[in-house]
Structure 1
Amino acid sequence: MTSVLTQIATVFSQLSLLSFGGGNAVLPELQRQAVDLRSWATPEQFHSLFGLSQAAPGPNLMIVTLLGWHVAGPGGALVATLAMVGPSALVAVLVTRLWHGLRDRPWQRTVQAAMTPVSAGLVCAGAVFAVRASTGTATGVVIVVVATALAATKRLHPLAILGAGAACGLVAAVM
């Protein structure tokens, strides 16, 4: 069990340090690590855990805790969560202190502007992962396209769109 917890800590600590733009930015790599490289979950299990994590209230990256639980029970959940949050939080505190100390430097705005597209690109990669995970069927594709169009053009609350998409998926699954 200790070996598995060490593996969980190593994987999630590394992902934590790559999670510019939020945890969803590392979802493709998380899936590759958990499914392809380590066989902690099947693709179907991973997608189910991802869906559950998105439906549950709380942080967007609840999948980390759920995956840790799936692999090694409560200890795995704790180790995965701490490993995902800890390193990036520590780096954020250190960089913020350094950043504020250098706030009058002319290159600071350039660096800050350069980080925006990096963060946006990583978030987009996470969005592509989410779309791939939910579009295994024609119904899934339609739901994703309609939900995206609604989110982009209407001022609807995201939970309303999520609920409507879930209801449509449920109705399609029952039929």
Structure 2
Amino acid sequence: MNLQKLLDVVLVFLPLSFLTVGGGQSIVADIHRQSVEVYGWMTNGQFMDLFALSRILPGPGALLVTLVGWQAAGLAGALLASAAIFIPSSLLVFALAHVWTRYKNTLCIRAIEAGLVPVAAGMVLAASCTVLRAAEGGAWAWGVAAASTLILMFTRISPLLMLGVGAGVFLVAL
């Protein structure tokens, strides 16, 4: 067992635990950067496979972290990555819950909440762009993503229908 690789897994995911503002999706861009570009644990294609698998399987979106840990360092890597992503932020939320509830209507807490909304949206947008780049779908992928985003923002069309239309576009384009 490579202890340095296990340490690297912990050092990647422990700080990311505190950045999951907006959910696990918000850290996908940095997970990709660390696992593909910095540490070379996998290729873009392997990352996309793990990303797709994490979205198909039931459970939290942060399942991607467990899969990346597995790819990097086997079962021990999966367990350590999961612990590093869930335990620190859970302890922080537990510790802050009382304080947050007690002061929830103060100007400071309302300002923090208002400030976190655009940060979370930006992190989720960065994750989406990272996934599009890693998928290497080219202009078609970006066009389908942009059109789907606009349609879903301004209509009540089912996202499942948009998935079907997107698949159809790529079938025709091939």
- Unaligned 5+ segments in structure 1 are none
Is the CA contact 1:143–1:165 (under 8 Å) kept in the aligned structure 2?
yes
In structure 2, relative to structure 1, the CA distance for the partners of 1:71 and 1:118 (3 Å cut) is: same
How far, CA to CA, are the matches of 1:112 and 1:44 in structure 2? 36
Cα-Cα RMSD:
2.4
**What are the within-5 Å matches in structure 2 for residues 30-45 of structure 1?**
30-45=31-46
So what's the TM-score if we normalise by structure 2? 0.83
The equivalent residue for 1:122 is 123
Question: C-alpha offsets along residues 124-145 of structure 1, whole Å, 9 cap, x if unaligned?
Answer: 2222222323353343234323
So what's the TM-score if we normalise by structure 1? 0.82
Question: Deviation at 1:172?
Answer: 5.5
Which segment is superposed worse, 23-32 or 125-134?
A: 125-134
- Unaligned 5+ segments in structure 2 are none
SS for the counterpart of 1:18 is coil
The equivalent residue for 1:68 is 69
SS for the counterpart of 2:18 is helix
How far, CA to CA, are the matches of 1:164 and 1:154 in structure 2? 15
How far, CA to CA, are the matches of 2:101 and 2:120 in structure 1? 20
Question: C-alpha offsets along residues 48-100 of structure 1, whole Å, 9 cap, x if unaligned?
Answer: 22222223333223211111111222222222122111111111111222212
The equivalent residue for 1:157 is 158
**What are the within-5 Å matches in structure 2 for residues 4-83 of structure 1?**
4-83=5-84
In structure 2, relative to structure 1, the CA distance for the partners of 1:160 and 1:82 (3 Å cut) is: farther
In structure 2, relative to structure 1, the CA distance for the partners of 1:29 and 1:79 (3 Å cut) is: same
Question: Deviation at 1:113?
Answer: 1.8
Between the aligned residues of both structures, percent identity stands at 35
SS for the counterpart of 1:139 is helix
Is the CA contact 1:65–1:81 (under 8 Å) kept in the aligned structure 2?
yes
Amino acid at match of 2:94: V
